[in-house]
Amino acid sequence: MAKGTQGGFWQRLMAIDRRVIFLAVGIAVSAPFFLPISPKIHITPEVESLYNALKELPAGSKVLFPFDYDPPSAPELQPMAVAAITYCLENDLKMVIMGLWPQGPQQANLALASVIEGEVGDVITYNGKTFKYGIDWVNLGFQEGREFVIQRMGSSFAAAFPRDYRGTPVDELDLMRGVTNFNNVDFVFSLSSGYPGTIEWVQLAGDRFHARIGAGNTAVQAPMVYPYYRAGQLTGILGGMKGAAEFEVLVGVKGGFGTRAMLSQTFSHAIIIFFIIVGNIAFFVGGRPSRLKGTEEV
């Protein structure tokens, strides 16, 4: 094949319509939903570490769940929430739900609704066991104030959350009667997609008030949170959908969204890597397309 022809082919490849790439990514994401296979999910140390930290909690321990995210981050964080709530219900851990993001507590209710049998009410049923609101779990709702809410919770939960999301005074909730500050919760499971979120929980609840913290984060946020894990400020991290899938495997959630989505995630990554490699080969073999060269003259 003549060099000129080669250059022409690669240059045409460089100038490929971007919609072809969108279509390829779309097919890579959609097709796996109809394939009866699932990839093997390897458990990473940071996910295992968080799971082990939860396993150390005896029945009756109180887990604080800050739901610091909103619906756009649900594909990544909701599977983590579902798996974490499942674990708590299976192992009789008490859940104190709250949010520094307005939609967070609603996401918690959605996650709870997807785990239990029936609807979320005063009494919920899971695996034949019943759990009562105010005794086994509470939802304190959203509180404005960002990291200052965490700071205030360090001295008094009731001052930061005088009422739960239903308007019931916190003092009237059995579960909250013994909870004054972070000394009275056994674990903080931060589910976060940005600010305020895991970083603020580590800095204030963790480093200042010595709470044990584990985190589930969006993949965008995960690289910013990893240094805290390395330094021992976090017990573990669930990073993005992959972290969610690993956690689902450990908890034993059957057919969880994180696990189901892993094949789509794998295929889409493969197609992106393929385009990156082909694009680079085309760039170096075929040279820069005239369209790009022209921009230098402007």
Question: Which residues of the chain form contacts with other proteins (CB under 8 A)?
Answer: 19, 22, 25-26, 29-30, 33-34, 72, 74-76, 102, 142, 144, 202-204, 206-208, 218-220, 222-223, 227-228, 230-233, 239-242, 257, 260-261, 264-265, 268-269, 272
CB of 99 to other proteins, least distance (A): 11
What is the CB-side half-sphere exposure of residue 131 using CA atoms within 13 A?
29
CA nearest neighbour of 248 among 67, 63, 87: 87
Query: Which of 256, 286 has the CB closer to other proteins?
Result: 256
Query: Which of 11, 221 has the CB closer to other proteins?
Result: 221
Number of Cβ atoms within 10 Å of the Cβ of 279:
15
CB of 33 to other proteins, least distance (A): 5
CB of 29 to other proteins, least distance (A): 5
CB of 9 to other proteins, least distance (A): 26
CB of 207 to other proteins, least distance (A): 5
For residue 141, the one-letter residue type is G
Query: Which of 26, 60 has the CB closer to other proteins?
Result: 26
Measured in Å, how far apart are the chain's first and last C-alpha atoms? 35
Number of Cβ atoms within 10 Å of the Cβ of 250:
19
Query: Which of 190, 218 has the CB closer to other proteins?
Result: 218
The Cα 203–Cα 47 span in angstroms is 21
Name the phi and psi angles at 14, rounded to 5: -65, -30
> Which token pair is 136?
């086994």
Query: Which of 131, 165 has the CB closer to other proteins?
Result: 165
CB of 74 to other proteins, least distance (A): 7
> Which token pair is 85?
């709530």
> Which token pair is 53?
């930290």
CB of 258 to other proteins, least distance (A): 9
CA nearest neighbour of 86 among 134, 49, 137: 137
Query: Which of 35, 135 has the CB closer to other proteins?
Result: 35
Query: Which of 72, 121 has the CB closer to other proteins?
Result: 72
CA 87 to chain centre: 15
The Cα 298–Cα 296 span in angstroms is 6
Query: Which of 93, 199 has the CB closer to other proteins?
Result: 199
Pairing assessment for the beta strands 187-192 and 137-142 based on DSSP bridges: unpaired
Find the helix packing angle between 74-90 and 240-251, rounded to 10°: 20
CB of 257 to other proteins, least distance (A): 7
The Cα 213–Cα 189 span in angstroms is 6
